[in-house]
Structure 1
Amino acid sequence: MADVHILRKHALGLLAIRKIAFRWAELAEAEYGMRCVYQEGRATDELFFTGAGVQGHLVATRSKLEIKVELGILLRAFKSSIEQEMVKNIDALLPAKLSK
């Protein structure tokens, strides 16, 4: 079970959401030192990311963007703050009408 789960439905299509997901991966690497592996697919893109005490999975499709994160035991105490920051970052990349 994921410690953090973020789901955003959209009507942007796969190419547009792919750009957003890829940008999120770049930010995760640059700002949080995450190691990201991005895999493009015909109908679904997947991003696997890991960092100090964090591992997660992002799925981007024509109609949804979903992020699931598992936190290490030390980071679970900061779950609320981490989730708020992730929500803020992903919503900043999405068009305003899609956020939340």
Structure 2
Amino acid sequence: MSDIIIRRQHGKSLAEARASAEHMAAELKEEFDLDYIWIGNVMRFKRPGVAGELSVNDQTVALNIRLGLLLFALKPAIEREIHRFFDENFPS
């Protein structure tokens, strides 16, 4: 297993941060077939080989992903894609 952990300050209200996270999740669902559910301000998601959560508050957004063995080799590409999504939805 391999983990990807990303935390970023966002400068948005909690409602705006959650809306950005929802937009990001919808794109990831469409592109990578991720299933997700919100529990409070934490979005939990998974698909075969990937599981994790994205949490938002009024200051930060935090992403924790656990990659399965088959996706371990793709970790650098997945991490780049995640940073791109963060840059689009939570610019610093």
Question: TM-score, normalising length from structure 2?
Answer: 0.92
Greater Cα offset, 14-23 or 85-94: 85-94
* 1:51-62 correspondence to structure 2 within 5 Å: 51-62=47-58
1:65 aligns with 2:61: yes
Distance 1:86 1:26 in 2: 14
Question: 1:6–1:67: 8 Å Cα contact kept in structure 2?
Answer: yes
Instruction: Give runs of ≥4 in structure 1 deviating > 4 Å.
Output: none
> What is the match of residue 42 of structure 2?
46
Report the number of matched residues: 92
**TM-superposed deviation, 1:2:** 6.1
Question: 1:10–1:63: 8 Å Cα contact kept in structure 2?
Answer: yes
Structure 2 residue ranges without an equivalent (≥5): none
RMSD of Structure 2 on Structure 1 (CA)? 1.5
**TM-superposed deviation, 1:28:** 1.3
Question: TM-score, normalising length from structure 1?
Answer: 0.85
Distance 2:48 2:83 in 1: 19
> Larger RCO: Structure 1 or Structure 2 (Cα < 8 Å, ≥ 6 residues apart)?
2
* 1:1-100 correspondence to structure 2 within 5 Å: 3-40=3-40, 45-95=41-91, 98=92
Distance 2:9 2:15 in 1: 15
